[in-house]
Structures are given as structure tokens and as C-alpha cells.
Amino acid sequence: MKQITELATPFASISSDETFFGDDLPWLKSLRLKARTQFNNAGLPAKKEEDWKYTSLRPFARQQFNHGAKTQPLSVEQCNDYALLDDAYRFVIIDGVFSAELSKIDGLQAGLIIRPLSEAVDLIQPHLGQQVELTKPGFTALNTMMMSEGMAVTVDSNVKIEKTIELLVINSGESANLATHLRHVIVLADNSEATIIEHYLGLNADSSFTNTVTEVILAESAQLKHYKLQQESSKAFHIATLAAKQAAKSQWTTNSISLGAKLARNDVHTQLLGEQSHVVMDGLYLVDNDQHVDFHTRIDHTVANTTSDELYKGILNGNSHGVFNGKVMVHKDAQKTDANQQNHNLLLSRGCEIDTKPEMEIYADDVKCGHGSTVGQINADHLFFLRSRGLDEVSARSLLTYAFTADVLDRIDSELIRTALANVVEQRLPKPSI
Amino acid sequence: MKMLEIKNLHASVGDKEILRGINLTINAGEVHAIMGPNGAGKSTLSNVLAGRDGYTITQGEVLYKGENLLELAAEERAQRGVFLAFQYPVEIPGVSNIYLLKAALNAVRKYQGLDELDAIDFLSLVRSKLDLVKMDEQFLHRGVNEGFSGGEKKRNEILQMALLEPSLAILDETDSGLDIDALKTVSEGVNGLRSADRSIVMITHYQRLLDYIEPDFVHVLSDGKIVKTGDKELAKELEKTGYSWVQQGQAE
């Protein structure tokens, strides 16, 4: 237990009389208290826990983080530059604080609500904390006890939201070692549709800690396209849980692109709770230098006739370290499950490391499940072919590296979003070492 | 003008010597066929000329337009007009054919001191070349050779050649894996590219390609050396008698 206590250090000083939004609501206050108890008892996960075997929190535990934020005021023009999309609803959080001035959530389409979490407690009460276990991982408990803001989105039945919603979370670096605990809740009612981008950005190279939990609730026949782009600074710690519950015939497409952070840990989880629900769970990680990225995904097929399609790809350079652990659980009543899971990795340097562990646990007997994982380097025949057509070696390697990401990006059906994300990825391609 | 001069070329892979003293001069405008049995060193010769890694040159030299070819990186050779049509063209998912063509053409143009073509000029140029190899425009937007049939891959090689307009084209077993219709199409494409300032080297095991692309010279490569040189009649003789006499002749 000593190790765990030691790892809890960064947040040991949080006093129990600190106040949060919703403290006047008994249910929320008691949720936070419960989380506090959980967190104080268990602390942060240690490496001896299977889920954290390849990701050490020691560099994190050595850091001190602050909660009082001085925010950096940004101009609308700056914000336009940072945002991924121009023509979108925009919800801006800077240094943990919602910015009404920079957000574009006026004149919303009928049937759509976008609000800061702190002003939407009534709206999300039935859903908050229902998608995640408070105790695991420890960061979720920490998030529940500390959550200070976030984006709440609800879409009414039979409403199709035309514009994309971009959640832009900016760390300005104005407050050193700033910790932010954000909770986003996305609720799509029956037969509704929406597209949401979570976009995390660091404006300078300082250390920070972003701890987010996104809860997604999809009612029957709801369709959510969800993209996450994380491009925080190379000293940032980014810990995120993304968890969904899907009713019958709902469709969730999620694609997480992780480019930044010193340490990025993403837990992505969905529960397919109704028949004919479908999930596409994709991701792309590009890391260099001493970056560490860890994706833990889990898909629970709990009833018959559900489908999942998962494709994660990683490019590693320098002394970076990647972890992919994907679990597909086919529960005993989940007959006719169709599940496919793939993880492919491209290593560009001798110093990088990938630990990939695709897992399937199948308790039903009439299912179609496949998974695979590969680790490879730039193909010498491909490289020679491109050079024989006049491309210099650096360009040829870059092209092949970019090409490796193509099938993940091609699965994004909106051309606007695909192009925007592809541009970001292209700019952040690790410079190949020759 | 001398396009290519190969003088006493020896090349090894590891400890094994594959090319054992090749001498060959190719003038501008000429079409040469290099034939020979399996293991004679045909593919090694084409790879060495194109600059693939993994071969050690132990003796001899190769001059391309008077310049030492072997000192140049593969891409420098390509930029200067050396083109290898591959025996087994690779599939590269994620790189679209049109992107490749544009990048290749611009690399060559940059070396020549020319500006990059704009999108409209580029597309109309590519379209004119597509006709030459009877390829549909949709192939441009697919990954390089991704899911192409054997014939489509070879036509795609010739398309690249047509676009890059090399001075020296080396066709490595371009006929292998082609049915008769595909062979005709590919051959017509190559014939359309014959010109007084372009030399073509065809490396082939079989004579049938030479029915469609008529060579000026035929060389027989055996055991790493050119053992006989003649005109197209030599190829017909080989077709009748096989390669065994060549190998026997060498042993004498």
C-alpha cells in the first residue's frame, strides 16, 4: 500500500472543505463524497495493476499540480485559428473555465441543448456517473470528486443535428502545472443524430494535467459520430475516460487521435445493451521523443445481434512508448455477435516500444469474432519503389508513414472532418530517422 | 550518343558473386533485350542499374550519359531519367496512384529546373498518358497497385514510364504474368514510347515479348556474363533450342 499512498501525493493536499458547483444538491454532494472516499482509499493505480502494467504514473506522481486557474484571455481570432472547424457550434473551455465569449452556442438548432456542465446539473442528473465505475480507474473517482466544468449536450428525439459540435479545450499555460477535471455528458434521445469533436490543445510547452471523463448515452436508433483530437504539449499529462451505453439500433462511431502529451492514457469503453447496436471504435496515435501513449479499449457485447469494428493504428518514433490493450467481451447471451478488432503499429526508430495486447473473451457460441495485431517497420520494397520514381528518401519515408494512417482516416465519412484531421496528422508526423 | 556503358561489372549479394564481368554498350534510341535462364543474374542487373540496396559492386563501372551511375542514389538516377519497370510492382495502400504520379513527376521536373505542374495541367497530361496504356481514370484514385490484377499492375508501370519520359527504361520481366491481351496493350504502350533519344532494355526469359517489341539487339546472359549477342533472330533460336546450349557452350 505504501506505493499507492506515495502515488496519491499530487492530490493529497486537496482539502475536504473545497467547494464545487452543485454542492447545494444533496445527490451531487453525496456523489462527490463517495468518489472522494474511493479515491482516498485506493489512490492512483499502480503498475502492479494489470490495466497499468505498461504505464507508470511515477513521473506524474512526482509532479505538483494546482487547481486555482489564472486564465489567459484569447481573442476570437486566436480561437478561430485553434479550432478545427469554422462552420460548427463551438464550446470553449480555457484553463478549465467555460468561455461564453469565445463559444458559438447561440441560435442552436431546435431540439439541441449545449450548456456548461455547471449550469446543466438538472439536465444530466439521471445520467451522470452511470456510464463509469467510480473506482476504476482511480482517475475517474478523482474526476467525479473534483469535476469543475464540462460540456453537457442533449439532443431530442428524431432530431438530426446538422452542424458539428466542436468542444475546444485549451490549456493556455498561463497557470503553471494546472490540473483540470472536466466531465462531459452527451445524451442522444431516440432516433437522433449528432457529430461531436473533442479537441484538446496546449498553447505552450508547460506541464499540465487534464483529467476528462466523457459519458455518452445513446437511446434507441440514435447515431453519434464522435472524434477526439488530443494535441496537448509534450509535457502535459492527459488522462481520459470515454464511456458509452448504447441502446438497440444505436450507432456510435468514435475515433481518438492522440498526438500530444508526455503521458496520454485513454480508456474507451462501450456497452452494447440493445440488439442491432453497432460501434466503430477507431484510434490513431503518433508519438515521438519520450512520449507515452496508452489506449485501453473495451467493448461489451451484452445482447444478441450486436456488431463492433475496431481499428487502432500507431506510429512510434524516438524513445516513445505505446500501449494498446483492446478487450472485446462477448457475454453469454450475445449470440450472433460480429466483432472485429485490429491494432497495427509502425515503428520508425530503434528506441521506441509498443506493447500491444488484443483480447477477446467469448462466452457465446454462435459468434463471428476476429482480431489481429501487427508491429512492423517501413517496408524496404515500398521505399525502393518510391525512390526509383524520383522521391528522395526522407519524402518517401514520410509518404509511407502517412500512408500507414490512411485507412483509419478514410473511415471518417465527413470529408470536412477527415480533411481537417488529416492535415493535423500530416503536420505532426514524426520526422523519420534515417 | 552513348546512353549506357557497362564495363566489366561485377556485383555480389553477400559473399555470392552474381554478376561476373558484364560488358554492354547501349546507344540512344536502341532497344536491347537481355535474355537468359533463371539465376543468370538478369534481375540483379536491373536492380544494380536502378540502385537498389543490398548489392556490392566489386569491380567495373557503369556510365549513364557519361556520368558514373553507381555513385548516384536511386532517386538521383530516377531524376536523371533512369526508369525501372518492376517485375513485381508493389502495392502501397494509402498512397493514391495520382499522388505518386504527381510526386514522381515533380521530383523529375525539379531536377530539370522546371516548375511543378498545376493541378489542371497535370491532370490533362496524365489523361493523355492513360489512353496510351488503355487505363481507366478511376485507377488514378486507388492506392498504388492496390487490388490491381497482374496486367493492371504492369500497365501502371508503363503509365509511370510514359509520364516520366525516361531516357533509359529498364523493363524487368514486364511480360511475366500477362495474358495475351494484356501483353499486347503493354507492348503497344512501350512501342509508343520508342524514340531516337530513348533507350530501352528489356529483361525477359521468354521470346514472346520480342514478337511485340522488336529489339535491335539480343544478348544472352548466363552465369553473370553476356555470352552471346545477336539480333532478333537469336531470340528465335533460343526459343527453339532453350538455354542449355548456352550453358554448355560456356562450360567448354
Q: What are the pLDDT digits (tens) for B157-212?
A: 999 999 999 999 999 999 888 889 889 999 999 999 999 999 999 999 888 899 99
- What is the 3 state secondary structure string of chain B? CEEEEEEEEEEEECCEEEEEEEEEEEECCCEEEEECCCCCCHHHHHHHHHCCCCCEEEEEEEEECCEEHHHCCHHHHHHCCEEEECCCCCCEEEEEHHHHHHHHHHHHHHHCCCCCCCHHHHHHHHHHHHHHCCCCHHHHHCEECCCCCHHHHHHHHHHHHHHHCCCEEEEECCCCCCCHHHHHHHHHHHHCCCECCEEEEEEECCCHHHHHCCCCEEEEEECCEEEEEECHHHHHHHHHHCCHHHHHHHHC
CB-CB under 8 Å, A391 with B104: yes
A53 three-state secondary structure: coil
In B, minimum Cα distance to A407 occurs at B94
Q: Which residues of B touch A402 (CB under 8 A)?
A: 94
Q: Measure CB to CB from residue B90 to each of A381, A399, A405 and give the nearest one.
A: A381
Q: What is the mean pLDDT of residues A66-89?
A: 89
Q: Identify the pLDDT of residue A150.
A: 98
Report how far residue B34's alpha carbon sits from residue B172's, in angstroms, rounded to the nearest whole number.
10
Q: Identify the pLDDT of residue A433.
A: 46
CB-CB under 8 Å, B107 with A389: yes
Domain that holds residue B38: 2-251
| Angstroms from A382 CA to nearest CA on chain B | 7
CB-CB under 8 Å, A388 with B78: yes
Q: Identify the pLDDT of residue A8.
A: 52
Give residue A206's pLDDT band: very low, low, confident or very high (50, 70, 90): confident
Q: Identify the pLDDT of residue A199.
A: 98
| Predicted confidence (pLDDT) at residue A15 exceeds the cutoff of 70 | no
Q: Identify the pLDDT of residue B252.
A: 42
Contact A407/B at CB under 8 A:
yes
Q: Identify the pLDDT of residue A69.
A: 66
Q: Identify the pLDDT of residue A6.
A: 42
Average pLDDT taken over every residue of chain B: 93
Contact A426/B at CB under 8 A:
no
Q: Identify the pLDDT of residue A137.
A: 65
Q: Measure CB to CB from residue B90 to each of A385, A391, A399 and give the nearest one.
A: A385
Q: Look up residue A24 and give its DSSP letter.
A: T
With both helix axes pointing from N to C terminus, report the angle between A393-410 and A415-427 in degrees, rounded to the nearest 10: 150
Q: Measure CB to CB from residue A382 to each of B73, B90, B107 and give the nearest one.
A: B90
Q: Look up residue A117 and give its DSSP letter.
A: G
Q: Identify the pLDDT of residue A1.
A: 30
Q: Measure CB to CB from residue A391 to each of B50, B53, B107 and give the nearest one.
A: B107
Q: Measure CB to CB from residue A403 to each of B86, B93, B108 and give the nearest one.
A: B93
* pLDDT tens string B36-76: 988 899 999 999 999 999 999 999 999 999 999 999 999 99
Domain map of chain A by residue range?
A: 2-274
Q: Are A217 and A186 in contact (CB under 8 A)?
A: yes
* Closest CA relative to residue A350, chosen from A293, A434, A428, A286: A434
* pLDDT tens string A172-203: 988 888 999 999 999 999 999 999 999 999 99
Q: Identify the pLDDT of residue A17.
A: 67
Report how far residue B206's alpha carbon sits from residue B179's, in angstroms, rounded to the nearest whole number.
13
CATH number assigned to the domain comprising residue B8: 3.40.50.300
* pLDDT tens string B91-118: 999 999 999 999 999 999 999 999 999 8
H or E segment at A393?
helix A393-410
Give residue A12's pLDDT band: very low, low, confident or very high (50, 70, 90): low
Q: What is the mean pLDDT of residues A104-121?
A: 96
- Between residues A36 and B86, which one has the greater pLDDT? B86
| Predicted confidence (pLDDT) at residue A258 exceeds the cutoff of 90 | yes
CB-CB under 8 Å, B103 with A395: yes
Q: Which residues of B touch A386 (CB under 8 A)?
A: 92, 100, 103
Q: Are A314 and A301 in contact (CB under 8 A)?
A: no
* pLDDT more than 70, % of chain B: 97
Which residues of chain B approach chain A closer than 8 Å at the C-beta?
50-53, 73-75, 77-79, 83-84, 86, 89-90, 92-95, 99-100, 103-104, 107-108, 111, 143, 160, 164
Q: Measure CB to CB from residue A385 to each of B73, B77, B86 and give the nearest one.
A: B86
Q: Which residues of B touch A396 (CB under 8 A)?
A: 75
| Predicted confidence (pLDDT) at residue B237 exceeds the cutoff of 80 | yes
Q: What is the mean pLDDT of residues B80-101?
A: 95
Q: Identify the pLDDT of residue B47.
A: 96
Average pLDDT taken over every residue of chain A: 92
Give residue A84's pLDDT band: very low, low, confident or very high (50, 70, 90): very high
| Angstroms from B232 CA to nearest CA on chain A | 29
CB-CB under 8 Å, B74 with A387: yes
Based on the number of CB atoms within 10 Å of its own CB, is B12 exposed (0-12), middle (13-18) or buried (19 or more)? middle
* pLDDT tens string B20-34: 999 999 999 999 999
Q: Identify the pLDDT of residue A299.
A: 98
Q: Measure CB to CB from residue A403 to each of B84, B94, B160 and give the nearest one.
A: B94
Q: How many CB pairs under 8 A join A and B?
A: 77
Q: Identify the pLDDT of residue B248.
A: 64
Give residue A64's pLDDT band: very low, low, confident or very high (50, 70, 90): confident
Q: Are strands B16-27 and B2-13 parallel, antiparallel or unpaired?
A: antiparallel
In B, minimum Cα distance to A378 occurs at B92
| Predicted confidence (pLDDT) at residue A115 exceeds the cutoff of 90 | yes
* pLDDT tens string A337-377: 999 999 999 999 999 999 999 999 999 999 999 999 999 99
Contact A186/B at CB under 8 A:
no
Report how far residue A183's alpha carbon sits from residue A36's, in angstroms, rounded to the nearest whole number.
16
